[in-house]
A and B are shown apart, each in its own frame.
Chain A
Amino acid sequence: MGTQPNARGTESAQSHVLELDPELPPPAVDDAVREAEERRWTPGKIALWVVISLLGAVAWFMVALVRGETVNAIWFVFAAVCTYLIGYRFYSKVIERYLLKPDDRRATPAEYKADGKDYVRTDRNVLFGHHFAAIAGAGPLVGPIIAAQMGYLPGTIWIIIGVVLAGAVQDYLVMFFSMRRGGRSLGQMAREELGVIGGTAALIATLLIMIIIVAILALVVVNALGESPWGVFSVGMTIPIALFMGVYLRFIRPGKVMEVSIIGFVLLMAAIIGGGMVAGTEWGASFFHLDKTTIAWGIIIYGFIAAILPVWLLLAPRDYLSTFMKIGVIVMLAVAIIVVRPEITVPAFSEFAGRDNGPVFSGALFPFLFVTIACGALSGFHALISSGTTPKLVEKERQTRFIGYGGMLMESFVAIMALVAAISIDRGIYFAMNAPLALTGGTVESAAQWVNSLGLANVNITPGVLAQTASDVGEESIISRSGGAPTLAVGLAHIMQQFIGGPGMMAFWYHFAIMFEALFILTAVDAGTRVARFMLQDSIGNFIPKFKEASWRPGAWLCTAVMVGAWGAVLLMGVTDPLGGINTLFPLFGIANQLLAAIALAVCMAIAAKQGSFKFLWIAGAPLAFAAVVTITASFHKIFSPLPAVGYFANNAAFAKALADGKTSFGTAKTEAAMEAVVRNTMVQGVLSVIFVVLSIIVIIAAVVATVKAFRDGGGRNHEDAPRPSRVFAPSGLFPTAAERELAAAWEKVPAAKRFDRPGHH
């Protein structure tokens, strides 16, 4: 097969190829009818979009330009929702109409590969929830909080505009292209489209990036649970609860997923309440009072065991629990913010917006704000979910806009709510919680003194307030609880107690928040370790075929150990880092995540070019250029910056020199061992940065080469599965249009037996 130029007018060309069953109603609304419906602007429709636009404009004005004492949180909600609606209605429609050109006459993999197990046509609204639960986790909850160091406005703009023009675009494109390719994974698509070098670089980069992401997510949990007996107890209890649920589903009542999820949820609540009681007793407080290194080792051992245990015992039940909590928590947070409408006193741009030495994360606003907030604006990790899993479940091609683009808008909204929760607390508390121990000193007195010495406007914190906040949320201390999760938990507790329960409930809400963040993260750690292990097994299998056998225990265990060892090492490095792990490692997390996004967008651009859609290549090209510039600049800062606070190697050199000079304490490292740790850590971080950026540049260059080649040839080879006629119909968006309702009614009349092919199964 040679090249198959596939220029404009694809849609009409394909309809000739597809021989639809004449006995059935058409599987798609007629193009002309749909077109006329979309282009018809009734006065009601115009009025609706005028109102949405005006409300959005007023909200943005209130958030971005009005400089009063405070701004109400409700304006963040309006600015976000109105922008999402406009982006969804207009921009995603442009992508659909001019770049992707979905054709509902074509069957999706869920139809032509239907097996009742992996390939199952799924109701679009259900799949929206399912996809959302798979992409959303702790990422959008912590990134915006860490970024709040710079004030609320830079983060707000990036989250809302970034998702419309980049994040949701990536998810939508990857999902669509994967669906057209029978649900192939990003790695497989990269290999097909970019060739061996680009594909291999993409695979190695993906693997390394997954290790970093898992490690830093685990670091967030460790920081949230360190020295917190209540948190350790209640999060620890999720393991026996999940085991119980697993056994229940396997042996007692198989398939009763809803029932066991409700039981699990009740047990979870009991674990949170019980955690308060246990932490209140003397033995409980001492037994569950663990330092961060111990917890990190606990998570590493847990991660290994969880990844080699059968899925049914731990991972699947934990996943049910996590999904259950995810939907519940997000609905609850949205309702609470709309009901409580907290006043925000944080400035739009803080004193740190113009500096590169902030205590929460280091580096200048450009590029580091854009990597600190990854999930919620643009998250490369989503490309792994949007390819592979969800495309096998999509019922009709046109639904990918709602599920892919719309699902990511929803995640962005979660990020906005997390941001609102974090900035609704006092700024003094925010900095006391998020700065490394080396700066705050660890006691309420030293922390208050340090925060007040920063010279922040309207910040005057007393040790009493810090101690009171800690006791309100049922913790010994809230000083230097970095990582974002504890700050979100305080913010959420602050909002939720005004909604349900009053101040007496703050401790419960705080630990409720810690619990669900830990639950999301541990689920991601389990699943990430497993996925990474299989990728490694598959890669080694190319040289030693035995490794490809998933059931070969020694291979599985060895690869699991390698993966856990890799992220465990990074985790321990972060936990013991004298500079405060989050401060130095979180940018690496963001860079890794967005380099993955750049890889995904590069693959999408190459595919679009091979389709011959050169006029609309910018839809993937523009976010790719932005992500590439941001992440490569950030990587170069991290690699080449002469400032020790920013550059890994500069820091490495500074500490190495101090050691060579015979100093026994340098900067925040108080001992020689700590200084050696800094030298080691910065070297590892620096080398990782170099590897990431080199691999990503290789992938991007491979994609650009493929794009240019396609441009010269007027198209390229099409790797899509052959089109097959669809024998089903379903509406494409949340609300069916008039034409869709009419067609659905015609399909209702078709007897079920006539609807499907009877593929010969073996």
Chain B
Amino acid sequence: MEPQTETPPGSLPGTLLRGLRGFAAYFRGVLGADAYRKYLEHHEACGHSAAPMSERQFWRDRMDRQDSNPQGRCC
């Protein structure tokens, strides 16, 4: 969840920018937009021999699995 690039600490625009980046990263996490990155991390950490799915394949697979494995949404 850390911002990708470092801006000089202490300066006001830098702090603001970091704050915004942090918020955007958080929001992405809540939406689930970082699912592919997490999949790659898992794939690497597990030391699979097969190549990971491409981004396109991953999202297809994710959506198609939801078809048969629905998640509830509350009232």
Q: Taking beta carbons and an 8 Å cutoff, which residues of A are in contact with B? A: 114-118, 120, 122-123, 125-126, 129-130, 133-139, 213, 217, 249-250, 254-258, 261, 310-312, 315-316, 319-320, 322-324, 327, 375, 379, 381-382, 384-385, 388-389, 521, 523-524, 526-528, 530-531, 534, 550-551, 593, 752, 755-756, 758-759, 761
Q: A129–B67 contact, CB under 8 A?
A: no
Q: B1–A126 contact, CB under 8 A?
A: yes
Contact of A129 among B26, B61, B62, B74 (CB under 8 A): B26
Closest chain B CB from A261 CB (angstroms):
6
Residues of chain B in range 26-75 having any CB-CB distance to chain A below 8 Å: 26-33, 35-36, 38-43, 45-48, 55-56, 58-75
Alpha-carbon separation in the docked complex, A759 to B45 (Å): 10
Closest to A549 in B: B68
Closest to A530 in B: B70
**Known interface pairs A116-B42, A323-B31; A385-B1 also in contact (CB < 8 Å):** no
Residue B20 at the chain A interface, CB threshold 8 Å? no
Q: A381–B46 contact, CB under 8 A?
A: no
Alpha-carbon separation in the docked complex, A212 to B32 (Å): 30
Q: Which residues of A contact B24 (CB under 8 A)?
A: 258
**Known interface pairs A130-B29, A323-B30, A761-B48; A137-B60 also in contact (CB < 8 Å):** no
**Known interface pairs A250-B63, A311-B66; A523-B73 also in contact (CB < 8 Å):** yes
Q: B71–A117 contact, CB under 8 A?
A: no
Q: Which residues of A contact B26 (CB under 8 A)?
A: 125-126, 129
Q: Which residues of B contact A217 (CB under 8 A)?
A: 75
Taking A756-B45, A758-B47 as given, write out 9 further A-B residue pairs in contact, using a Cβ cutoff of 8 Å, ordered by the A residue number: A129-B29, A255-B35, A261-B33, A310-B67, A319-B73, A323-B30, A327-B27, A523-B73, A530-B70
Q: A311–B67 contact, CB under 8 A?
A: yes
Interface size classification for chain B: 35 or more
Closest chain A CB from B28 CB (angstroms):
5
Contact of B72 among A118, A138, A322, A384 (CB under 8 A): A384
Closest chain B CB from A586 CB (angstroms):
12
Interface contact tally, CB-CB below 8 A: 150
Contact of B74 among A120, A249, A323, A381 (CB under 8 A): A381
Contact of B68 among A213, A524, A551 (CB under 8 A): A551
Q: Which residues of A contact B55 (CB under 8 A)?
A: 254-255
Q: A213–B71 contact, CB under 8 A?
A: no
User: Could you name 12 residue pairs across A and B whose Cβ atoms are closer than 8 Å?
Assistant: A116-B39, A117-B62, A120-B42, A125-B1, A133-B30, A136-B74, A249-B59, A311-B63, A316-B66, A327-B27, A385-B73, A527-B70
Closest chain A CB from B48 CB (angstroms):
6
Alpha-carbon separation in the docked complex, A279 to B36 (Å): 42
Q: Which residues of A contact B61 (CB under 8 A)?
A: 117
Closest to A125 in B: B26
Interface centre among A123, A126, A213, A551 (most CB of B within 10 A): A126
**Known interface pairs A250-B63, A381-B75; A550-B68 also in contact (CB < 8 Å):** yes
Q: Which residues of B contact A315 (CB under 8 A)?
A: 66
Interface centre among B28, B55, B72 (most CB of A within 10 A): B72
Alpha-carbon separation in the docked complex, A122 to B36 (Å): 13
Closest to A122 in B: B29
Q: Which residues of B contact A310 (CB under 8 A)?
A: 63-64, 67
Alpha-carbon separation in the docked complex, A349 to B1 (Å): 48
Closest to A115 in B: B42
Alpha-carbon separation in the docked complex, A266 to B45 (Å): 38
Alpha-carbon separation in the docked complex, A129 to B47 (Å): 30
Interface centre among B30, B42, B47, B56 (most CB of A within 10 A): B30
Alpha-carbon separation in the docked complex, A606 to B48 (Å): 41
Alpha-carbon separation in the docked complex, A250 to B47 (Å): 28
Q: Which residues of A contact B28 (CB under 8 A)?
A: 257-258
Q: Which residues of B contact A384 (CB under 8 A)?
A: 72, 74
Alpha-carbon separation in the docked complex, A526 to B67 (Å): 12
Q: B59–A389 contact, CB under 8 A?
A: no
Alpha-carbon separation in the docked complex, A750 to B75 (Å): 43
